[in-house]
């Protein structure tokens, strides 16, 4: 069995309690992380990404459980996920995309107060020795550049 180590995420996990005291990052996204805020869903960059282009999509309504969403809200959320998926494919041309929902703190969720879906672009060989040996994660593109590239692709896929 292979194990994936992500020690750079510890800062994010350990600040969970503090981050939930302030404004919700999905209801009140910071400008530098906001990709899209619409009537039905919000898309933000992950502040602690696993790879370039790691984004999150949240439903409009603030809440933490999937079973609290109406069927209409679920449909709107996954419409947002599909747009985000298409934008990532267009922008990064990944060989795969991990899509997942962490529900509750024990599932690995760092943000437990607003349900969200992670989309993480993946490529063959995108893991290396740096995180394991030197506690370092290499993200080769600045988050602002990633955000602008994804925003541009998102507009194209939503209007096309």
| CA–CA separation, 149 and 157 (whole Å) | 13
The share of the chain scoring above pLDDT 90, in percent, equals: 59
The full set of domains in the chain, from first to last, is 35-159 (3.30.428.10)
Check whether 89 has a pLDDT greater than 70: yes
119 or 23, higher pLDDT = 119
Check whether 115 has a pLDDT greater than 50: yes
pLDDT at 20: 45
Closest CA to 29 of 18, 42, 38: 42
Rg for the chain (alpha carbons), in Å?
A: 15
Confidence of residue 140 (pLDDT cuts 50, 70, 90): confident
Q: What's the mean pLDDT when you consider all of the chain?
A: 84
């Amino acid at each position: 069995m292979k194990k994936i180590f992500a020690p750079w995420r510890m800062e994010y996990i350990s600040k969970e309690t503090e981050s939930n005291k302030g404004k919700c990052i999905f209801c009140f996204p910071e400008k530098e992380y906001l990709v899209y805020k619409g009537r039905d869903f919000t898309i933000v960059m992950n502040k602690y990404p696993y790879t370039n282009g790691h984004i999150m999509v949240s439903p409009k309504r603030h809440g933490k459980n999937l079973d609290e969403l109406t069927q209409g809200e679920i449909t709107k959320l996954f419409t947002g996920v599909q747009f985000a998926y298409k934008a990532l494919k267009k922008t990064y041309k990944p060989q795969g995309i991990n899509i997942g929902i962490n529900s509750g703190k024990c599932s690995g969720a760092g943000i437990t107060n607003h349900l969200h879906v992670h989309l993480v672009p993946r490529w063959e060989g995108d893991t290396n020795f740096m995180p394991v040996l030197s506690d370092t994660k290499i993200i080769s593109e600045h988050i602002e550049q990633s955000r602008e590239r994804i925003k541009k692709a998102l507009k194209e896929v939503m209007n096309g």
